[in-house]
Structure 1
Amino acid sequence: MYYKIAILALATLLVTRERLTAQERKTPNPADSYYQLIEAPSAPEKWDRWREQMRQLRDSVRWHAGYTEENYRKEQFKWASAAYSTFFLMANEKSLYDHQGNFDITACIQKYEQEYGGVDVVVLWPTYPQLGFDQRTQFDFYRNLPGGMAGLKKLASDLHAMGKKLMIAYNPWDDIGRKQGTRDEDELLKMVSEIGADGVYLDTISNVDGFFNELQKSRKGAILQSEIPINAGALNLVHQSWLEVGWNEKYKNLEFGEVPHLVRNRWLQQKHLIYRLSRFSHEQSTLLQNAWVNGCGLVIWENVFGTVNPLNPRDRYYYGAMLPVLREYSTFFTEGEWTPLFPVKLNRVYASEWRLGKKTLWTVVNRQDQRAVGKLLEQSHRAGTRYFDLITGREMKTDVKNKEVSIYADYGPKAISGILAVPEDDCTPAFYTFLKKQAEAFEKAKWTTDVRLPEHLLKAVIPTRKYTSRILPKGMVPIAVPSDSARMVFMFRQRECGFYPVGNFVDYSFSQTRNEITQANIAVKLNAFAMDRTLVTNQQFAVFLKSSGYQPAHENNFLKHWIAGKPPKGLENHPVVYIDLNDARAYAKWAGKRLPTEAEWQWAAQNGDAATAFPWGNQMDSTVVNTGQWSGTTPVEKFSGGKTKAGLFDMSGNVWQLTESERTDGYNNYCILRGGGWYINRASEWYADQGAQKTGFGAKYLLTWPGLDRCATVGFRCVADIE
């Protein structure tokens, strides 16, 4: 989620949760003069003075904040400074599960290991954008995954066996648990302990008052990772943080300037690992270069909350080339003497120098979209020193005269280079093996920046037997359809989960304003069909179970609200919930029906060509719909004033309705929900769509696993094909 908006929304929370010492209250922190990036002068003749100012700033901030580096130097925390890649894993990602629906993290992670240069940390994310469809808490979402806590414990154990870490995510904007009388901190500590997780991903806050010390009691060595750039005072407690496209203290975008700027928190504390990313950018060369000269890590994130963002081949190659170097030479970046904007000879080529003992490493970037060829560096030379590019795996061309070495380079467009000056005695077989792997990857690299988005494949609809309009199953009414194409307007709210290619829109999350309502004109041929007058009820579903003997493959949360296998007394005529798409399909097949497509659903809801905004007309009327006035579902025939002209009840409100419009993009399976439901929680804009909806509105419902997909606000109705 875009953190700039979240920062404003959470200002009060940050004030209460970020502990300030008495000294900090009295004296302004010198780091507060800057935000995420520190701007560098464009003129090279000013760089020496600028670097000296930056060193003074670093010393001042460290004194002011009372840095001890204790939490970085302790053995149990050292892993955090060398874990250069975080893999943001959506819990609904198809590759995470085997055919039985159990976790298979080895198969899931294999692709990302091969294509991105390895994974160090996995952030498992099951919540947004699904959180808020019903009243489950963010912690319930973890508990509803396969195997519950035991399944997650095994997942953590499997990752540990692979030498990787697992972080669980905390959504501070979710107040559902707090409303139910539980403390977020208690839930997190319990979960970390039970799972054996290695830390907590803090999402849109940068610190929780006192939580770090409590976290150590639950699991020694567990850390905090923040999505947003943290304040300098929290660097002692938060080991890792993210930095998306960066801004400086004047809130102007510096990420795409010519001269690479300094990442503030990396400069203040080199052991604090910062992860760079731009979640919806297909082309990330500039950001990768800025990460490289600052010694930052990277976020691997192709499945962005349900929107697929594959990197272009060139950037993916550089991920795979940079990460092995960052890991192998981590001490240069965490403990080496860092000189940003080290002077080089080539035009529009920039470098940082990292000195460690007798070795020197330069991280170099070519800002141009064309080759840069010629003398790169002039340096004093020690006899026996050799110079290698750790990215390409090749030895650099050099010329040594009078104890001075000239290093020559030939860089392609937007190239990244890592030049290591190393004594010949240190050129071990292991070193040459490393270079060989890098050279092989370089030879196979594809330099194109073209990106092809995945197709969204629609699952085929299996028609029912053909009924006549006079002989229909009980409780169904025929819906008149036009002889030519039906024309409708589909609507959805622009969320980071995207939607699917519809109308003239393709790349929703990459280009649209978040939370705006997007519309697309649809023309579709509808065959004659009939629709259930009401939502399928608990009682009707009970008859189905008794008659068919249906048993779901996974019973987790199946009809969770029933008591001893029967509908609760008084709710027999309420819509059935706590069912998933396959449960609904099984009922429909048993009844000789099927689920409606979203086009069929909308045509019926909007009264055909009348295209009304609501089933009853064009104005919202809360007296004829269940849109949050009750604390749950209502009888399916309660709101006679809210019917369509054909006599369909609850085509808005009460519960969301499953449709047969199920799609896959290769990463995500999802279906479209229609109608809206009874549940409303106004605490956060990040929650899923809630309340009764207009007839044209659809919500993307990511399908994860039956135990998570089944919830208190999703039901269904059926249709049948007629002659």
Structure 2
Amino acid sequence: MKTKYLIAVLSLLLFSCKEAGKQNEDLSDVNTTANSSDNLTETIPTENPKGMVWIKGGRFMLGNNNTDSRQTEGPAVLTEVKGFWIDETEVTNAQFAAFVKATGYKTIAEREINWEDIKKQLPPGTPKPHDSLLVPGSLVFTPPSKPVPLNDYTAWWSWIPGANWKHPEGPNTNIEGKDNYPVVQIAYGDAVAYAEWAGKRLPTEAEWEYAAQAGNKEANYAWGSELNPGGVYMANFFQGDFPYNNTNADGFNTLAPVKSFPANAYGLYDMIGNVWELTSDWYRPDTYSSYKKGDDSCCRNPTGPKDSYDPNEPYTPKRVIKGGSFLCSEQYCSSYRPDARMANSEDSGQEHVGFRCVKDIE
């Protein structure tokens, strides 16, 4: 009960089923950059930065019009992005460790919790939890031993004091021998700090989705129309009875080392599954509606809305995350698709959230 209360009070989890009022903010001020022409001709680099892939600019349909998908994933919008480099894998423990060693950076999950900052994200009058609960930590997947209602995420998530990127499942765990695993328990500010140090930035939602589609504009998945073509698993996600019985049919119970599954047509690994990936866009459920102009005009280089709004947690600033994770299941959160999107609190780290970076041509 204590853990359930802490998770709810701190608003550190992305899945919530409560209603918190109607959206009334104006979305008219959407950040987009119009190109001077429709010509996509651009300079193609002769050499890529190490560990990055060049993605040539182009047009694609952002989002989808599938009525079976979440309402936040549509309507589909004709979108154009300019060329960019993108990391071929999610940022790994080894790469993040190099950043920390060089800078002495301390992640948000390692810092003391300031109640004054937390309560700004909560409804007025929310009582302060006991000080013993306001300690550094993060959220860890703790599968139950039997079936549980799928509308109560606290049945499989726990707030663990001492959990952070070096101890992703709690203080008694570590990342020894896992240099090539994606770094997790990373909040948005941590990812931005790493990207700036590396001379890069986080991708926009449009850039990320364009790279994940890899030219498969009409396919449900990044690799085609079937989830497991020919019985082959193309990504790390949850098989079996969620959340208590993972059959590990894809070979992994939780995280997998990067490059454990085939790359997409652009040479990018794990764009789908393994960990959700942070983007730079603020989250709003009706972002695509705001892009839609009522005609077939093209939305160019969108960078998302000017602010965040999640009707489930209206006081909590959130960013868009993409790609699904090792916890996505056909029974729950089947978000292993390029157009799937979720909201993630800016100060929230979880065991299944990581990131990759992009870089602009100079």
Q: TM tier, shorter chain? A: 0.5 to 0.7
1:531-554 deviations in Å (ceiling 9; x for gaps):
111011111111111012212466
Percent identity of equivalent pairs: 30
1:154-188 deviations in Å (ceiling 9; x for gaps):
xxxxxxxxxxxxxxxxx9x9xxxxxxxxxxxxxxx
2:234 to 604, 608, 624: 624
Letter of the structure 1 residue corresponding to residue 57 of structure 2: V
User: Structure 1 pair 547/697, CA: closer, same or farther in 2 (3 Å)?
Assistant: same
2:79 to 507, 515, 524: 524
Contact 1:457 1:664 in 2 (8 A): no
1:561-605 deviations in Å (ceiling 9; x for gaps):
188899522322111110101100111111111111111111111
1:424-455 deviations in Å (ceiling 9; x for gaps):
xxxxxxxxxxxxxxxxxxxxxxxxxxxx5443
Counterparts of 1:499-510 in structure 2, within 5 Å, are none
Q: Which has the higher strand share?
A: 1
CA distance, structure 2, for counterparts of residue 518 and residue 698 of structure 1: 7
TM-score by length of 2: 0.60
CA distance, structure 2, for counterparts of residue 617 and residue 721 of structure 1: 29
Unaligned runs of 5+ in 2: 34-42, 111-135, 138-163, 239-247, 283-306
Q: Number of matched residues?
A: 255
CA distance, structure 1, for counterparts of residue 7 and residue 29 of structure 2: 27
Letter of the structure 1 residue corresponding to residue 253 of structure 2: S
User: Structure 1 pair 554/627, CA: closer, same or farther in 2 (3 Å)?
Assistant: closer
Q: Quote the residue 1:124 is aligned against.
A: none
User: Structure 1 pair 493/667, CA: closer, same or farther in 2 (3 Å)?
Assistant: farther
Contact 1:541 1:576 in 2 (8 A): yes
CA distance, structure 1, for counterparts of residue 191 and residue 30 of structure 2: 18
Are positions 1:141 and 2:7 aligned together?
yes
Contact 2:192 2:201 in 1 (8 A): yes
RMSD: 3.8
CA distance, structure 2, for counterparts of residue 493 and residue 613 of structure 1: 10
Q: Quote the residue 1:607 is aligned against.
A: 214
SS for the counterpart of 1:588 is: helix
User: Structure 1 pair 487/545, CA: closer, same or farther in 2 (3 Å)?
Assistant: same
Q: Quote the residue 1:487 is aligned against.
A: 60
SS for the counterpart of 2:326 is: coil
SS for the counterpart of 2:220 is: coil
User: Structure 1 pair 681/562, CA: closer, same or farther in 2 (3 Å)?
Assistant: closer
Counterparts of 1:317-716 in structure 2, within 5 Å, are 453-455=25-27, 469-482=45-58, 486-491=59-64, 519-552=74-107, 555=110, 556-557=136-137, 558-559=164-165, 560-561=167-168, 568-608=175-215, 610-621=217-228, 623-628=233-238, 629=248, 630-640=252-262, 643-662=263-282, 663-665=307-309, 667-680=315-328, 690-691=333-334, 693-703=336-346, 706=347, 709-716=348-355
Contact 2:91 2:183 in 1 (8 A): yes
Q: Quote the residue 1:154 is aligned against.
A: none
Contact 2:64 2:76 in 1 (8 A): no
Contact 2:320 2:342 in 1 (8 A): yes
CA distance, structure 2, for counterparts of residue 658 and residue 457 of structure 1: 22
Contact 1:527 1:721 in 2 (8 A): no
CA distance, structure 2, for counterparts of residue 565 and residue 544 of structure 1: 23
SS for the counterpart of 1:523 is: strand
Residue 475 of structure 1, CA deviation: 0.4
CA distance, structure 2, for counterparts of residue 603 and residue 664 of structure 1: 22
Letter of the structure 1 residue corresponding to residue 327 of structure 2: Y
Unaligned runs of 5+ in 1: 1-135, 147-170, 174-202, 204-278, 280-302, 310-451, 462-466, 495-512
Contact 1:654 1:692 in 2 (8 A): no
Looking at CA atoms only, which structure, 1 or 2, has the larger radius of gyration? 1
Residue 474 of structure 1, CA deviation: 1.0
Contact 1:492 1:517 in 2 (8 A): no
CA distance, structure 1, for counterparts of residue 73 and residue 350 of structure 2: 26
Letter of the structure 1 residue corresponding to residue 308 of structure 2: T
Q: Which has the higher contact order (CA 8 A, sep 6+)?
A: 2
Q: Which has the higher helix share?
A: 1
Are positions 1:720 and 2:359 aligned together?
yes
CA distance, structure 1, for counterparts of residue 70 and residue 335 of structure 2: 17
User: Structure 1 pair 552/492, CA: closer, same or farther in 2 (3 Å)?
Assistant: farther
Q: Quote the residue 1:113 is aligned against.
A: none
User: Structure 1 pair 634/671, CA: closer, same or farther in 2 (3 Å)?
Assistant: same
CA distance, structure 1, for counterparts of residue 253 and residue 66 of structure 2: 25
Residue 720 of structure 1, CA deviation: 0.6
SS for the counterpart of 2:200 is: coil
SS for the counterpart of 2:86 is: strand
